[in-house]
Amino acid sequence: MDAGQVLVVGGTGKSGRRVAALLPGARVASRAGSPPFDWRQPATWPAALGDALAVYLSYPSDIAAPGAADDLADFAALAARSGVRRLVLLSGRGMPWAADSEAAVTRSGLEWTVLRGSWFAQNFSEEFLVDEVRRGSFTLPVPATAAEPFVDLDDLAEVAVAALTGPGLAGRVLELTGPRALTMAETAEALGSAIGRRVAFRSVGPAAYRDGLVALGLPEDEAELLTQLFTEVFDGRNTPVTADVPEVLGRQARDFAGYARRAAAAGAWPPA
C-alpha cells in the first residue's frame, strides 16, 4: 500500500509522529492539522479520512478512558463506509479494561491489527517523566523490584508501518516488548549511566501518587486512571518478553540501555 493512502490519527503524538516520519506522504490527523481532526468532534472525521485505505489509530490520553470505545466504534464504522480497508490500533499490554476499545476495531469488518505495547522507553525522555529524570529521580506507585520490558517507540513505529502497508499481519494481536525486562532500580541505573549522573527511583503508595498528580494540575479522574493503570500493569503480568518485534522486523528489539544512551546524546536530560 502506498504511503499516500495511509492516515495517521494522532500523528503529532509520541507514536504517531514516528509512524508518519516512516511514511513520507502519509496524511496526518491532529487537532492542529489541515483539515483538523478532533476525537470529540465527529464532524471533523470525514474530511480527515478522505480517500485513505489504511489508518493508524492512537487514542489520546488512554485507550481505556471513558468514551474511547464508543469513539473508536463510531470511527471504525465511518471508516468502513468511506472505503478504508485496514485499521491498526495502538493498545496497551496487560490491560483487560481496554477490551471494549479493541473490540471496536476487531469487530469492524475491516482488516485489523492490534499493537499492545509495553511501557514506552520514551516515557522517560518525552513529556511524562522527563522533568523528574532531569532532576535526578523518577517516581511511580510500584516497588523497586517491579520489572518491565520497555518497548522502544521506534520499534513500535516500524511494526505499525509493516502492519499498515504490508501483508501477513491482518487479524493479529501483537505484544511488543524490548529484549529484556528491567526492574525500576535497574532502569534508574541505566538512565544514570547514560546521563553521567545518579538517577534514583522513588516508590510511593497509590494515594500519594494520585495526590501528587492532582497537585501538578491533572484532573482527578485522569489521576485516578493513571494510578490504577500503573499499579495494575506493573504487578508482574507484563514482565515476560515476547518475540513479536523480532518476528516482524527481522532483528532484535532495541534495548533500553541503547535508548537511554541515544536520548542522552540528543540532549533529553540536561541538568535541571
Using DSSP's 3-state secondary structure scheme, residue 137 falls into strand
The number of domains in the chain is: 1
Give the C-alpha distances (Å, rounded to integers) separating 20 from 23, 93, 156, 196: 5, 23, 12, 32
Q: How many residues does the chain have?
A: 272
- Residue that wins the pLDDT comparison between 65 and 175: 175
Residue 271 lies in a domain: no
When pLDDT is averaged across residues 41-49 and rounded to a whole number, the result is 95
Q: What is the CATH number of the domain that holds 192?
A: 3.40.50.720
Domain extent for 96: 3-265
Which segments of the chain does DSSP mark as H helices, in order? 16-22, 45-49, 68-81, 99-106, 130-134, 153-165, 184-195, 206-215, 220-233, 244-249, 256-265
Inform me whether the pLDDT recorded for 272 exceeds 70.
Answer: no
Residue 272 lies in a domain: no
**What is the C-alpha separation between 49 and 109, in angstroms, rounded?**
17
Residue 195 lies in a domain: yes
Residue range 204-255, pLDDT digits in tens: 999 999 999 999 888 998 899 889 888 888 999 999 999 999 999 999 999 9
Is residue 9 a contact partner of residue 16, using CB atoms and an 8 Å limit? Answer: yes
Residue range 110-167, pLDDT digits in tens: 999 999 999 999 999 998 899 999 999 999 999 999 999 999 999 999 999 999 999 9
Residue 163 lies in a domain: yes
